[in-house]
Amino acid sequence: MSSQILPDPFASQAHLTERSVAAKLCEWMNETIRNENLLLGEAWVETEAGGRPNDILLSRSPGSRRALCVVEVKLPYVDSLSQGVIKQVLDYALPLQAPYVCTCNINQLIWFHTEKLLDLTTSPAERIIDRYHLSSIADPDAITQPAVRLSIQQELRRFLTDLAQMVAGERVKPRLAIDDLLIFRLYSAIETLAVHYTALVAEQTQKNPAFAQKLASWFVEQGWNFTYQTQDYDKVGRQAAYLLVNKILFYTALQQQLHLPPLSIPTDLFDGGILKAILQAYFQKVLDIEGRT
């Protein structure tokens, strides 16, 4: 199979940022509120309270900017459940006295009780009201694709309908089971990791002919066709994310039995190469111990 690197037809076009994505989500929310006659106020993009602009503010009633829910928008490579993102949306919501907050990375929208996020005695399962799978994309520009746009709009409609019912006292959300919460956290981690891997594989394929040839050969070994398309990169990204998460779970499961040190990653680490070396050192400890038994 040829390893010819294909030119990127979108290399010269403008790309969507967090703010432009937030504006588009805000537009679709307002369309849904109007079309479904929901008893909610308008969605506003980048309002300000306490000198800090938030991404999206859902108001409590038409003609008002009194906050009902504040939404923090991130790009797909940021985990919606990360503590940093949750803290950020809380910092925006508290001056506005918003009873609800959401974190959104285009792929997922997570809906929280503000009060329960602040109460450290509540369990994580009590803080999440619901979660909505908007899409499965690595590139924010993809929200303009018809299928992706439709998926996002459908899930936003579900969220806004649930929110309106909650405000009206018509919706009682059952508490999230601990097992469900664990599965959801794993899913969120895999989805976010996959975005990173997908972008990295696409970049390397475009820039490195030798890498592209190896990747094409690997596809053949799996019985797949490699077409240099987004779905190919996404397939590899997900495989890599699943593999890494499985390794971490396996290490954690053996940690007590084999007296392994707990996995610890510096919070200020942003170098992927160093992270890879740290994780590989932990995984190697398992192999060394198994080799001696």
User: Which single residue is written with the structure tokens 């919606």?
Assistant: 80
47: tokens are 């309002």
**113: DSSP letter:** E
Q: Report how far residue 280's alpha carbon sits from residue 283's, in angstroms, rounded to the nearest whole number.
A: 5
- Give the Cβ contact number of residue 147 at 10 Å: 9
pLDDT in tens, 179-229: 566 676 777 777 777 887 888 888 888 888 888 888 888 888 888 888 888
pLDDT tens figures, 226-246: 888 888 888 888 788 778 777
- The Cα–Cα gap between 96 and 117 comes to 15
CATH 3.90.1570.30 corresponds to the domain 18-173: yes
**Burial classification of residue 41, based on how many CB atoms lie within 10 Å of its CB (0-12 exposed, 13-18 middle, 19 or more buried):** buried
In the numeric block, which tokens belong to residue 264? 């610890």
Q: How far is CA 73 from the centre of its chain?
A: 10
DSSP assignments along 2-38, one per residue: --PPPP-TTTTS----HHHHHHHHHHHHHHHHHHTT-
0.75 surpassed by pTM: no
Per-residue pLDDT of the chain (293 residues; tens, 9 = 90+): 444 444 454 455 678 899 999 999 999 999 999 999 999 999 999 888 777 889 999 999 888 889 999 999 999 888 888 888 999 999 999 999 999 999 999 999 999 999 999 887 877 777 889 889 999 888 899 999 999 999 999 999 999 999 999 998 876 665 555 556 667 677 777 777 788 788 888 888 888 888 888 888 888 888 888 888 888 888 888 788 778 777 777 777 777 777 777 777 666 645 455 666 776 776 776 666 655 55
So where are the chain's domains?
18-173, 184-292
